[in-house]
Structure 1
Amino acid sequence: MNTRFAQILSAALHPLLMPTLIFATLFYIAPEAIQNLELFNSTSRVGMMSLKMGLLLLIFLQTFVLPVFCIYALYRFKFISDLKMETLADRRVPYLVSVAIYTFVAVFFTFNLRQFPEVSLILTSIAFSISAVAFISLYWKISAHAVGISGTVGALLGIAIKLALASLFYPVLVAILIAGFLMSARLHLNAHTPAQIIAGTILGLVVSLSVVIFFI
């Protein structure tokens, strides 16, 4: 694999982008997976946007823009030495900040958007995965990229199976293919060992599949 391509793939598929990717897929390819979504989408708007677009933008701002801004602030104030966060020392504080943000987001959706329980549950599973990554990263460098992309695969696959949604067949296949490329990219860049990739994959799949199968 070309090093430049591996770097671009790692940046484009950053773990913090996975919630946006999951919900963009569900909202626009399999909206029937989200209870009441089409009903409220046809009757409600967020400014000039449809409800679906408004929700997706809110998720993007809360789960990507806000954590990225906080991580950049940590870098500017010298709490971390490198934005790539390749060492355990650089990962610990940003991960704890991300845990706090994602926990807040999960609680916010749980109590303020009760008409969409599936969204709250998926966000809660993501918050739990990030918490697990943050804890493990106190001692060992597990692959957050593997956790993120495998969690995405697990969420989409679990929903497709449980709700028998044929519309998610191709998105799941594409997600699996992308996961393979991304993990290969992380290995090519020597960002992680095979063990760290495998551990991340197992963590992401187990958490996302468990939440979908048992709670949605």
Structure 2
Amino acid sequence: MNTRFAQILSALLHPLAMPTIIFAVLFYIGPESIHNLELFNGTSRVGMMSLKLGLLLLIFLQTFILPVFCIYALHRFKIIKDLKMETLADRRVPYLVTVAIYTFVAVFFTFKLRQFPEVSLILTSIAFSISAVSFISLFWKISAHAVGVSGTVGALAGIGAKFGIEQLFFPILIAILVAGYLMAARLHLNAHTPAQIIAGTALGLAVSLSVVILFI
């Protein structure tokens, strides 16, 4: 694998981008998985946007832009040395900040947007996964990329199978292929060992599939 391609793939498929990707697929390809989405989407708007787009933008701002801004601020204040966060020391504080943000987002959707319980449950599972990664990273460098992309595969596959949504078949297949390339890229860049990749994959799949099967 080309090193430049591996770097680009790692950047584009950053763990913080996974919530936006999951909900973009569900909102626009498998909207029946979010039971009240089409009902409210036809009657409600967010400014000039449809409800779907408004929710997706809100998720993007809360789960990607806000954490990225906070991590950049930590770097500017020299709390972390490297934005790539390749060492355990650089990962701990950003992960704790991200856990706090994602927990707030999950609570916000749970209590303020009760019309869409599936959204809040998926966000809660993501917050739990990040919390687990944060705790493990106190001692060991588990692959957050593997957790994020395998969690995406697990969420889409679990929802597609549970609700029989045929339209999700190709997105799931693409997600699996992309996950394979991403994990290969992380190994190529020597960012993680095979054990760290396998552990991250197991964690992401276990959490996402458990939440979908048991609660959604």
TM-score range, shorter chain: over 0.9
CA shift for structure 1 position 133: 0.1
Whole-angstrom distance in 1 between the partners of 2:25 and 2:160 = 12
SS at match of 2:170: helix
Q: Which runs of 5+ in 1 are unaligned?
A: none
Name the aligned partner's letter for residue 206 of structure 2: V
**Alignment-derived partner of residue 210 in structure 1:** 210
1:4 and 2:4 equivalent?
A: yes
**Alignment-derived partner of residue 77 in structure 1:** 77
**CA displacement, residues 175-203 of structure 1 (integer Å, 9 cap, x when unaligned):** 00000000000000000000000000000
**Alignment-derived partner of residue 99 in structure 1:** 99
Whole-angstrom distance in 2 between the partners of 1:36 and 1:63 = 22
Whole-angstrom distance in 1 between the partners of 2:79 and 2:197 = 26
**Alignment-derived partner of residue 53 in structure 1:** 53
Q: Which runs of 5+ in 2 are unaligned?
A: none
Whole-angstrom distance in 2 between the partners of 1:79 and 1:203 = 28
Percent identity between matched residues is: 84
Query: In the comparison of the two structures, how many residue pairs are matched?
Result: 216
Whole-angstrom distance in 1 between the partners of 2:62 and 2:25 = 18
Name the aligned partner's letter for residue 89 of structure 2: A
Whole-angstrom distance in 2 between the partners of 1:84 and 1:120 = 29
Whole-angstrom distance in 1 between the partners of 2:124 and 2:12 = 23
Q: How high is the TM-score relative to the length of structure 2?
A: 1.00
Whole-angstrom distance in 2 between the partners of 1:103 and 1:36 = 23
Name the aligned partner's letter for residue 210 of structure 2: S
**Structure 1 segments (4+ residues) deviating >6 Å:** none
| C-alpha RMSD of matched pairs (Å) | 0.2
**Alignment-derived partner of residue 170 in structure 1:** 170
Whole-angstrom distance in 2 between the partners of 1:32 and 1:82 = 42
1:138 and 2:151 equivalent?
A: no
CA shift for structure 1 position 35: 1.0
Whole-angstrom distance in 2 between the partners of 1:66 and 1:199 = 27
**Alignment-derived partner of residue 19 in structure 2:** 19
Whole-angstrom distance in 1 between the partners of 2:64 and 2:45 = 23
**CA displacement, residues 131-176 of structure 1 (integer Å, 9 cap, x when unaligned):** 0000000000000000000000000000011101101100000000
Name the aligned partner's letter for residue 189 of structure 2: L
**CA displacement, residues 39-73 of structure 1 (integer Å, 9 cap, x when unaligned):** 00000000000000000000000000000000000
SS at match of 1:81: coil
